[in-house]
């Protein structure tokens, strides 16, 4: 998941360099969404991983 967000951030940077503002804005939005999903899934796995180890 983090690989997808980094990929979209790189696409956004390249698009911004070449002057494609709309594409860059879309790519950065998608990258942010993937990054937030990654953070949520990471935190959920930390919480449930610790609960399963104790039982």
| pLDDT tens by residue, 1-55 | 778 888 888 888 888 888 888 888 888 888 899 889 999 999 998 888 776 655 5
Helices then strands (H, E): number in the chain?
2, 0
pTM exceeds 0.75 for this model: no
Domain hosting 31: range is: 2-54
What pLDDT is stored for residue 52 in this prediction? 63
Q: Judge contact between 8 and 27, C-beta under 8 A.
A: yes
Task: Return d(Cα 29, Cα 23) in angstroms, integer.
Answer: 10
- If one counts the domains in the chain, the total is 1
Identify the residue whose tokens are 């804005």. Answer: 25
């Amino acid at each position: 998941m983090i690989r997808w967000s980094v990929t979209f951030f790189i696409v956004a940077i390249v698009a911004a360099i070449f002057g494609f503002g709309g594409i860059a804005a879309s790519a950065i939005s998608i990258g942010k969404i993937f990054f937030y999903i990654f953070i949520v899934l990471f935190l959920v796995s930390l919480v449930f991983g610790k609960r399963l180890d104790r039982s």
